[in-house]
């Protein structure tokens, strides 16, 4: 009986990581791009109102370990007016990191931003997709 309690406790402690495990999204064999590969950025679409040109550009889709990341950037003239996530991993760290990444992008007006601690993979994918959108705009 003295051995049964420690064995039971250690068995449960060993099973907890299995219960909490969340697999990464499966890209599957039908996926046309390898992990880390980027789909090309979309062609910019522009509209003009009152002398100011608004351009919306989608960045490349970046396949990360956590899932695909893709941004859409709205330019108002030469400035980045807004950034929207088109695709992002379904992960708590990503959900917390996205507003910080967007805020810093709007402040710096470039893809040269800091990585968010705890969401490094998503941050790197975000920056790569953002830079592709900036480059596609020209």
Residue 5 pLDDT level (bands cut at 50, 70, 90): confident
Quick check: 110 pLDDT over 70?
yes
Mean pLDDT of 16-21: 67
The pLDDT value given to residue 4: 80
The pLDDT value given to residue 102: 94
Structure confidence by residue, pLDDT tens digits, 49-80: 555 788 999 999 999 999 999 999 999 988 99
Residue-wise burial string across 97-123, b where 16 or more C-beta atoms lie within 10 A, e elsewhere: bbeebbeebeeeeebebeebeebebbb
Residue 7 pLDDT level (bands cut at 50, 70, 90): confident
The pLDDT value given to residue 54: 87
Give the DSSP letter string of the chain: -TTHHHHHHHHHHHHHHHHH--PPPP--TT-SS-TT-BPPPPPPEEEEETTEEEEEEE-PPEE-SS-EEEEEEEEETTEEEEEEEEE--S-HHHHHHHHHHHHHHHHHTSS--PPPTT-HHHHHHHHHHHHHHHHHH-
Rg of the chain over all Cα atoms, to the nearest angstrom: 21
Rounded CA-CA distance 127/25 in Å is 21
Mean pLDDT of 21-46: 50
């Amino acid at each position: 009986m003295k051995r049964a309690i420690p064995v039971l406790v250690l068995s449960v402690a060993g099973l907890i990581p299995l219960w909490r495990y969340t697999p990464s999204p499966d890209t599957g064999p039908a996926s046309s791009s390898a992990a880390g590969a980027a789909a090309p950025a979309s062609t910019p679409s522009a509209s003009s109102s009152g002398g100011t040109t608004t351009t919306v550009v989608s960045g490349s889709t970046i396949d990360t370990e956590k899932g695909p990341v893709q941004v859409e950037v709205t330019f108002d003239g030469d400035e980045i007016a807004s950034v929207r996530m088109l695709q992002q991993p379904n992960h708590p760290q990503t959900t917390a990191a996205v507003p910080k990444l967007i805020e810093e992008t709007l402040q710096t007006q470039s893809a040269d931003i800091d990585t968010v601690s705890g969401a490094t993979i998503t941050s790197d994918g975000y920056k790569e997709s953002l830079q592709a959108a900036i480059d596609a705009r020209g």
